[in-house]
Amino acid sequence: MNDINDGRVHKIVEWAKEEGSASILLDVFDVTPGEPIQVMELSKEHKALYVASDHRVKQVDLVMCNRRYDNCLRCVHDPYCGWDKDSNVCKPYSPG
């Protein structure tokens, strides 16, 4: 069964490289279990993905660093996160 028809959203990161591109599956979210996803909308302002089926609307936060990743490797693959080596915790990335 196609995941979008089963209510799942895949979080994939893609990197551009000289020899092409590479991607990795970071996570799978069961957003509207058993219900086909009808619409998805990304909000930069709220840093969230809004997902709607025929019967519900769900918000998926894009920044979930400390709630989803408990090791450095998984953490640093997410473009919204960075690993704090002093506290051994995945935290939201902020440039500077």
pLDDT tens sequence across 33-71: 999 999 999 999 999 999 999 999 999 999 999 888 999
What is this structure's pTM? 0.77
- Mean pLDDT of the 20-41 span: 92
Q: Give the span between the Cα atoms of 4 and 28, in whole angstroms.
A: 11
Q: CB of 87 within 8 A of CB of 75?
A: no
Does residue 95 carry a pLDDT above 90?
no
pLDDT on residue 15: 84
Q: Give the span between the Cα atoms of 93 and 70, in whole angstroms.
A: 15
* Number of residues that this document lists for the chain: 96
Which backbone phi and psi does 11 adopt, to 5 degrees?
Answer: -100, 110
Q: With pLDDT > 70 as the criterion, what percentage of the chain qualifies? A: 95
pLDDT on residue 68: 87
Alpha-helix residue ranges (DSSP H) falling in the chain? 65-68, 72-77
